[in-house]
Structure 1
Amino acid sequence: MSRTTEGAKRTILAVFAHPDDESFICGGTLAKYASLGAEITLVSATRGEMGRRMGNPPYVNRETMPDIREKELRKACEELGIQELIFFDIRDKMVEFYDSERLIERIGELMEAKQPDVVLTFHETLGGHPDHCAIGKATSEAFRRAQQKGSLFYITFGDAMEAPELFGYTKQDVVRIDVRGHLKAKLAAFRAHRCQTEIDEWVWLPDREALAKLGGHEYFLAGNRSVEPLVFNDLFQARLDR
């Protein structure tokens, strides 16, 4: 799964559940690697049509939600530098009930086609939402079945990984990415998801104040751990075994 020849373009495959997962959780990291020339493909399993937020004041309804959230996600991808967006068109809040073998197969086909150096997804039990956990479980299994080398990482929610032992992990399992130079792109992506963020007053403060609300680091759990000491401040330098 990893193309390590000199001069090869570095690639990331991010497999998430909803529009906005990419921005709210790891937008700074995606923007950082995109700015460094990485080729990024984003999968959104759903179009987020069951989201509870409808804008503030509301301007979205159940009928218009899928199209609006798609447009907002495409705008967020532009802000972050994500080159390719793929929807699986699974019904929102139903990923856990989708045929698991078919889902693993679809993700595996993408891995074969894209040959990513890094795969990002949710942890299958720490994802915080049934859709997150289901897409993470399927992606992890697709990764395990793949034959090529590569690195699998689970995106995590902010400062939770400052104390990974609370979740059964150690500091050696955590990658800490410095995204302070890419917070403007992350904030722009937040704002692109307008119907989801208009209720959050801080997002729409003057730029300087809003940027101060964003953390300077994002955290990832290694999904395929190595027995070797790891370089854990760069997703592409972490030396992981299958």
Structure 2
Amino acid sequence: MLAIHAHPGDESTSTGGMLARYARQGARTVVVTCTNGEFDDAASGAVPGEFGHHPKAVAAHRRAELYAACDALGISDLELLGYHDSGAAGEVPQGGFCTIPVETAAGRLASLLEHFQPQVVVTHYSTHRDHVHANRVAALAVQRTGIPAKLYLTAVDGSTTIDIAEVADVKRKALQCHASQQLPGQFSLREHYFRKFDVTDAPLPESDLFAGITTSGPDLPRWS
């Protein structure tokens, strides 16, 4: 399982329950975080542009929170692409993630797909410009490599619903690791996903992102 997120914290809010559930079941779970989160709030509460908001310091703090959250979720591997946060609105900073050519970022992600050989890939679906870009990058990397059997997008209501009740305490702990962002403590006990790409023909709706996948083990063949 490989989850591609735009910012530190997205792994916990969007997919925290799902990642914790599959990690508990023994799956190798990989998180790829595309940006450093420079435009998140500072630990002091200062927002971008305010006195006390220093992007490099914010990025360092957000990385530390990310590591703690991934540890709480039982993530096997964390990969940081290190792009600059584009911000939610206004002028995009030089080198902002959403200005990076899709082909360039997808090439880096494709290398990670080659390395980890994930059966399932999950990424964003939202209007935030970095999330949109992560979506495009993930889709191109999956298409080019042909490795994953499935590609899912986070959704409000989708083709696949994952019950996370048994790991709700784990997701809550991961959210608390992102203390500087004051992430919400309340959340649904179900996470929803939309199946965008699939070669298994597993029937819908699903309650398991791995439905229809029959191969397992460290040396998975490519999907044709």
2:67 match: 74
Equivalent residue for 1:48? 37
Give the match for residue 61 of structure 1. Answer: 54
- Offset at residue 230 of structure 1 (A): 3.3
Residues 230, 238 of structure 1: 8 Å contact kept: no
SS class of match (1:154): strand
CA distance in structure 2 between the aligned counterparts of 1:114 and 1:228, rounded to whole angstroms: 23
Aligned to 2:207: 233
Distance verdict in 2 for CA 1:193–1:146, change over 3 Å: same
Q: Is 1:96 equivalent to 2:98 in the alignment?
A: yes
Runs of 4+ deviating beyond 3 Å: 55-61, 225-228
Match of 1:8 in 2: none
Structure 2 match to 1:136: 135
Instruction: Say which is worse superposed, 145-154 or 132-141, in terms of deviation.
Output: 145-154
Asked whether the 8 Å contact 1:119–1:152 carries over to 2, the reply is: yes
Unaligned runs of 5+ in 2: 47-51, 87-95, 214-222
Residue 145 to residue 72, structure 1, CA distance change in 2 (3 Å): same
TM-score between both structures, scaled by the size of structure 2: 0.82
Aligned length: 200
Cα shift at 1:229:
2.5
Residues 154 and 222 in structure 1, CA contact (< 8 A), matched pair in contact too: yes
Match for residue 106 of structure 1?
A: 108
The 1-side partners of 2:98 and 2:122 are apart by 18
| TM alignment of 1:4-43, pairs within 5 A | 12-43=1-32
Shift of 1:99: 2.2
CA RMSD of aligned residues (A): 2.1
Percent of aligned positions that are identical: 28
Could you tell me which runs of 5 or more consecutive residues in structure 1 were left unpaired when the two chains were aligned. 1-11, 165-173, 204-212
Instruction: Please state whether the residue corresponding to 2:104 is helix, strand or coil.
Output: helix
Question: In 1, distance between residues paired with 2:85 and 2:61?
Answer: 14
**Under a length normalisation based on structure 1, what TM-score does the superposition of the two structures give?**
0.76
How far apart in 2 are the matches of 1:116 and 1:228? 17
* Cα distance, 1:92 vs structure 2: 0.4
Given that 1:232 and 1:238 are in contact with CA atoms closer than 8 Å, whether structure 2 keeps it comes out as no
